[in-house]
Structure 1
Amino acid sequence: MGSNIRLSVLYAFVFLLTLASVARSFVVPNGILKHRSDKYGAEYKAKEFHAMKQRRHAPGRSDGSSDVIKPKVMIVAMFYLESYAFLNNYKPSLYGINITVPGLSPRFPQVYCTATGEVCHVTTTEAEINAAASMSALVYSRLFDLTETYFLIGGIAGINPNYGTTGTVTFARFAVQLMLQYEIDTRQLPVGGGFSSGFFTQGTKEFKNDLYPATIYGTEVFELNEALRKRAFLAARGAKLSDTEEAAKYRRLYPMAAARSPPGVTLCDTGTSDTWWSGSVLAESFGNLTTLLTNGTGEYCTTQQEDNASLAVLVRAAAAGLVDFARVIVLRTGSDFDRAPPGVDELYHLLQAPQGGFEGALANVYNAGVKVVDDIIDKWGEVYRVGVKPTNYIGDILNTLGSPYGYKPDIGVASQFVVPV
């Protein structure tokens, strides 16, 4: 009987040891459960084991903790081809440290960093919900100290031919949420409405596109650090930009000088929409909205699917003291025109036209973006560590950050501010 009891105890002890070992394999050093993607396998486990060993040598918090990465730059991509722009080209390699972050997209569950931890890269997946979910997972994971990190959101976009061409690199001061409006199908518009788009601002009682919205959700518009934007613009102007013969041929169909010119670097603003829209009617409507929500300052020139969502997360994280919203850069490159050239059918333009801009736009995310990253790393001690002081209001339409640099909001309505001015 006694030997049977001892044997049972031994089996139980071995079982507990095995269970503990399995549990440890699913826990990162600070005790947070690991996320496992649908593609997680033995090769990922091996990479993680190698990465976790390297993390011990990466710079951590100011208190000396080494299991928290403190990057100088966090590059943000939205889908796999945008991510390859940096992951396949940046030196030193961004595969020096690989960190699985709970809550990231199952398609892109890891953040990749250089071996020193100075530069990191995350991919959110496309569309507003994915961007918000992934950025939230990143900033609230506590696997990173992001209080001094510069965020470079870099991706492709549709481009307004009045401001640029395919391959053009743009830096935004304002990001406007285009679809946060009322809409009536154009086939059911009232006669004599005065404009052809079915969009008009929320909370208003008239069918007009020049009335400031009476209902505000808080994500309609964000304003970024103009001084930092201009610094990034100057750094990127030295980049050699890619182009294709096919893109050059298609752009000649447009009468606008900006559309017909080769790719360049410019300053103009971006609009966010989950709907991949196209056409001059919508473009005009959304351009008007951009002007309206920025009190006449914003200039709509690119359209994409994520930026307002990412910026909403970063504003809230800044309010919680986890990031510095003055250290956010939005770079978008033109992959296609947001409207057809004269005489070309809009549906053909959207689905079949040989615009030829996709390849150059992807390449220029890196060609221009790496100049910005290099400037931050090279000038860290003399410029970027203390921060590029804003010369304008930064934040959201609600004044959530409370005008941190003393500039009164130039977007929004005072009665709707979270923090009174």
Structure 2
Amino acid sequence: MQPRHVTMHMLARAAGSLLAASWLWVAVAAAMIPAEAARMAPKVLIISMFPPEAQVWYDGMPSSGLGSLLAVNVSTPGLSMLFPHVHCVADQSVCQVTTGESEINAATTVAAVALSGRFDLRRTYVLVAGIAGVNPRHATLGSVALARFAVQVALQYEFDAREKPANFSTGYFAFGAAGPGDYPTTLYGTEVLELSVALRDAAFALAARADLADDAGSVAIRARYAARGRAAFAAAAGPPAVVRCDAATSDVYFSGALLSEAFENTTRTWTNGSGVYCMSAQEDNATLEVLLRMAIEGRVDFSRIILMRTGSDFDRPPPGLTAYEHLVLLDQNGFDIALDNIYRAGIEIVKGILADWDSRYEKGLEPTNYVGDVFGSLGGEPDFGPGSITDGKPVLPGGMTGDLVKRGVAPRRRGGGAGRGIPIRVPVPVPGGQG
């Protein structure tokens, strides 16, 4: 194609068109977001991590009777440049935001929403709803998991497996510990976050109403886990189901039996034997930590958070395949049904909350278990870890509790097996507890 001759007249016309378009966009934006808009108080805020997880809500909501999630679109500083709006139905009872993938993206977006001043989230139910890797010991492709615990499993020391000591089962081991299987003696505070069991069980009952999606490709993949009589993988060979088990957070997209088993053990150890790892994702502890800090400030209610993940791919290979073949070469076929089941199960939760708002959900469900982080920041005594660092009292908003480090808990220097977080005295965990 011959190059086009560009004249000053053509440049001027183009500039004029761009200027007109920019002013049009400003006008549209102004109409979309009134300068002095009242704060929205959604009953449910859906948190998605990347576009396919969001799209199922945009596509499905209009037929739910709740309206289009794209009816109201709000922008606020700090949202992802890729996903610069919080979307809401016309009556603002349900809103949705996409954070972007990874812990950093999740934390910055959720903080931006909570601190924006555009939303009153004090009585909002937060539904974190995304796809995940699935542990074949406890669930399968397309399964829907409701979690009590989120565990930041990669927040550890790590040796390359080729350099680990011969008596180590994995290259991962906890900060301040001597080897795998020991509880950390240095904590950053985000290692484990525990959610309300009462709300999880209510969400489980609502999600169980859903007719979950499945397909022939996923059935064929699942059948591989039934090979050679592997009873441990019986859940993997079955159809999609709604289950209660826990989430592991890692920015690294890990795959393979050895890493998956290591993080199963991490989850079990760090939750004092109560946690059951079944879903792996990249964002949950970051999202929950932001919401916990907002709860300290009275901006959200941490007992109103639901963590739901659906299985899109297995975290380890079936018999007869290498970890590489499983991750890179095999099409596991679970992506589409996992996305579909986000909406199928999620909409039942959303509709259930809205339907029983006046009679049940407006006042909230009283937690029956400890809710919060390993430090006991929201008050009460954690049922995992070394115990509250504030003697069971909640951290006060606005920094009124004071600097806890200056009050006798100081960071360690790096080296000699020490981490860089809060050094603690760790009792020997007693296995057991309610899942």
Q: Shorter-normalised TM-score: what interval? A: 0.7 to 0.9
Deviation at 1:97, TM superposition (A): 1.1
Say how many residue pairs are matched. Answer: 363
Tell me, yes or no, if structure 1 residue 174 matches structure 2 residue 145. Answer: no
Question: CA separation in 2, counterparts of 1:76 and 1:158?
Answer: 18
Unaligned runs of 5+ in 2: 1-20, 227-232, 394-435
1:356 to 308, 312, 333: 333
User: 1:27-47 CA deviation, whole Å, 9 max, x = no partner?
Assistant: xxxxxxxxxxxxx96776455
Question: CA separation in 1, counterparts of 2:209 and 2:182?
Answer: 41
Deviation at 1:49, TM superposition (A): 3.6
Name the counterpart of 2:404: none
Name the counterpart of 1:239: 210
Name the counterpart of 2:300: 323
User: 1:256-305 CA deviation, whole Å, 9 max, x = no partner?
Assistant: 21001110100000000000000110111100110111111000000000
1:165 to 128, 134, 140: 140
Deviation at 1:96, TM superposition (A): 1.6
2:382 to 396, 400, 409: 409
Q: TM-score, normalised by structure 2?
A: 0.81
Name the counterpart of 1:220: 191
Tell me, yes or no, if structure 1 residue 375 matches structure 2 residue 352. Answer: yes
CA contact (8 A) 1:48 1:98 kept: no
Tell me, yes or no, if structure 1 residue 198 matches structure 2 residue 139. Answer: no
CA contact (8 A) 2:249 2:280 kept: yes
DSSP 3-state at the match of 2:224 = coil
1:69 to 19, 27, 40: 40
DSSP 3-state at the match of 1:248 = helix
In structure 1, what residue type is equivalent to 2:29? E
Name the counterpart of 1:14: none
DSSP 3-state at the match of 2:60 = coil
Residue 43 to residue 343, structure 1, CA distance change in 2 (3 Å): farther
DSSP 3-state at the match of 1:355 = coil
Name the counterpart of 2:18: none
Residue 252 to residue 47, structure 1, CA distance change in 2 (3 Å): farther
Question: CA separation in 2, counterparts of 1:211 and 1:354?
Answer: 37
User: 1:81-131 CA deviation, whole Å, 9 max, x = no partner?
Assistant: 101111221131111211011100000010001111110000100000000
DSSP 3-state at the match of 2:46 = strand
User: What does 1:341-352 align with in structure 2 at a 5 Å threshold?
Assistant: 341-352=318-329
Question: CA separation in 2, counterparts of 1:368 and 1:240?
Answer: 8
2:99 to 124, 130, 141: 124
Question: CA separation in 2, counterparts of 1:42 and 1:82?
Answer: 32
% identical equivalent positions: 45
Name the counterpart of 1:24: none
Name the counterpart of 2:240: 263
User: 1:157-191 CA deviation, whole Å, 9 max, x = no partner?
Assistant: 00000111100000000000011001111111123
Deviation at 1:419, TM superposition (A): 5.0
In structure 2, what residue type is equivalent to 1:133? T
CA RMSD of aligned residues (A): 1.6
In structure 1, what residue type is equivalent to 2:249? T
Deviation at 1:366, TM superposition (A): 0.5
DSSP 3-state at the match of 1:252 = helix
CA contact (8 A) 1:400 1:419 kept: no
In structure 1, what residue type is equivalent to 2:156? Q
User: What does 1:14-413 align with in structure 2 at a 5 Å threshold?
Assistant: 45=26, 47-52=28-33, 67-91=38-62, 92-191=67-166, 193-195=167-169, 197-204=170-177, 206-207=178-179, 209-255=180-226, 256-403=233-380, 408-413=381-386
Q: TM-score, normalised by structure 1?
A: 0.84
CA contact (8 A) 1:203 1:213 kept: yes
Question: CA separation in 1, counterparts of 2:259 and 2:317?
Answer: 12
Unaligned runs of 5+ in 1: 1-39, 57-65
In structure 1, what residue type is equivalent to 2:58? L
Question: CA separation in 2, counterparts of 1:41 and 1:341?
Answer: 54
User: 1:210-256 CA deviation, whole Å, 9 max, x = no partner?
Assistant: 21100100000000000000000000101011112111101100032
CA contact (8 A) 2:267 2:277 kept: yes
CA contact (8 A) 1:173 1:268 kept: yes
Question: CA separation in 1, counterparts of 2:27 and 2:237?
Answer: 50
Question: CA separation in 2, counterparts of 1:252 and 1:50?
Answer: 54
DSSP 3-state at the match of 2:365 = coil
Question: CA separation in 2, counterparts of 1:383 and 1:316?
Answer: 26
CA contact (8 A) 2:144 2:310 kept: yes
Question: CA separation in 1, counterparts of 2:221 and 2:194?
Answer: 33
Question: CA separation in 2, counterparts of 1:148 and 1:159?
Answer: 31
Question: CA separation in 2, counterparts of 1:151 and 1:168?
Answer: 20
Residue 41 to residue 165, structure 1, CA distance change in 2 (3 Å): farther
Residue 393 to residue 45, structure 1, CA distance change in 2 (3 Å): same
CA contact (8 A) 2:33 2:75 kept: no
In structure 1, what residue type is equivalent to 2:254? W
Question: CA separation in 2, counterparts of 1:333 and 1:341?
Answer: 19
Residue 46 to residue 368, structure 1, CA distance change in 2 (3 Å): farther
Question: CA separation in 2, counterparts of 1:236 and 1:349?
Answer: 30
